[in-house]
Structure 1
């Protein structure tokens, strides 16, 4: 070793000190930008309050806007952080900023610590106020009566079957699907063969985000060829179905219930035309919602 050369340990510490100083500088910039973003969120709330109409409650949470922001975040990501990792970070940033405008109250089927709670926190972030209720009916009622802004409910179980009780409640309550959440098998259980799926339910219809799904309930008589007649309008318009389930309506009326998910938003021309044609058929059509596809 040269007489003038510092020991290896000292050289390493000197290099690390430079990098740590740079990290501290970046942290200060991040901190400043986070506070800048939070102040902008507060200004958004002030503008919405100023332009509110009478007793109408301003809409602070926009699911379609959040989906667009998260997609843009992931699209422009250059690494080394993974796209999904960056998306989750920004979701938490948006969650805490939204809480400055208005804390979101979200309900789910209890008890605490279930996969449904995980889905709620994944979708809304840790700043949302998530509360467990004892039954799915209580969950739907809390949203309908304005006691909660949104609910997260299971729609697809671990064995790939639809949750029938959830479908029954969608038929009874006048609520809208506002989003979807998928838990990865790792987040839920190592024994799962597919991702459990949950739906976000609210009182208001959601505008288009650019990458959307629509869900319908169709109830018709149990005549031969009924399914063919229902699917023909989709086929003619080349609309892709992502889910199709059938079951008895469960009301001793000899009717069949069809649950359908497909790509597109009800404001799209093709989907609007589809809805007109379906309503002309001898079926009961309930539009459950058009909503952004799951981003994370």
Structure 2
């Protein structure tokens, strides 16, 4: 049986620690509000010095850089990703003060796509459900939503072909990616699926980026794919995804979807894109964007 004086010592020790936690909480709260005030000043500067177009408040490359630095300087005991997740929510709240962000996704609500919205933009973003992928694209095109999150990979079918067709059809840019872990209960293993973030603006380099392109080819000769990949091999650029779709009609057409490391503004990537554009191939640059941080 614990002695009374031992209980008193425990309570005294806990009281000291709780007082320390209260002081730390006050400092955290004060600093978060200071950050929010600074974010508001950033919005004022953007509006004051903006041109005729509406200022861009959400900068994917800047957010990726901040989250990477958070993880690099983290010393624990919280894991790097958990610390970055907390900062993601702080940035989400601060961004909402600058401009409430509306993000389209294909419903129903609370599905995996909306989970990807929350993971990438945080809980302060407003998610808007639509009935079809095409409506999601149109919501970005007509500016009723600032961004969209939609699947590019599915555990059931691999590359989502309808997303690929719409990327070929609509003039939007990929400005981010979201990797989502699914499953993980006692009866099934986990698997990862990938979502794209679409917007109307191109994204500046973040220092750790991907580029996605679509290539349409009517060349069905043997070795056509090898020729397509040669510019990447010569410059040592790694492909992270390559998908091919072909029709077998009177005039065969192949559509290649490619993800590779680097930004379109990087010298070697720019050389590859210029070489591809000098061929009979039809090239569409879907966007350069930060690689997923979380």
Q: Which band: TM-score by shorter chain?
A: over 0.9
Partner of 2:27: 29
- Aligned CA distance change for structure 1 residues 258 and 188 (closer, same or farther; 3 Å): farther
| One of 68, 84, 94 as aligned partner of 1:71 | 68
Choose from 182, 193, 198 the match for 1:196: 193
Question: What corresponds to 2:120 in structure 1?
Answer: 123
> TM (normalized to structure 2)?
0.95
Q: TM-score, normalised by structure 1?
A: 0.95
Instruction: Report the Cα offset of residue 244 of structure 1.
Output: 0.5
Count of aligned positions: 291
Contact in 1 for aligned 2:183/2:190 (Cα 8 Å) = no
SS for the counterpart of 1:132 is strand
CA RMSD of aligned residues (A): 1.8
How does 1:132-143 map onto structure 2 within 5 Å?
Answer: 132-143=129-140
Pick from 90, 95, 100 the counterpart of residue 98 of structure 1: 95
Query: Which runs of 5 or more structure 2 residues have no equivalent in the other structure?
Result: none
Contact 1:115 1:188 in 2 (8 A): no
Q: SS of 1:21's equivalent?
A: helix
Query: 1:210-289 counterparts in 2 under 5 A?
Result: 210-221=207-218, 222-248=220-246, 253-289=251-287
Is 2:257 the counterpart of 1:291?
no
1:162 aligns with 2:165: no
State how far apart, in whole Å, the 1-side matches of 2:70 and 2:157 are: 31
Structure 1 equivalent of residue 59 of structure 2: 62
Question: What's the CA shift for 1:194?
Answer: 3.1
Instruction: Give, in angstroms, the shift of residue 159 of structure 1.
Output: 3.8
> CA deviation digits over 1:132-170, x for unaligned, max 9?
100000000000111110000100001461000000000
Give the Å deviation of 1:223.
2.4
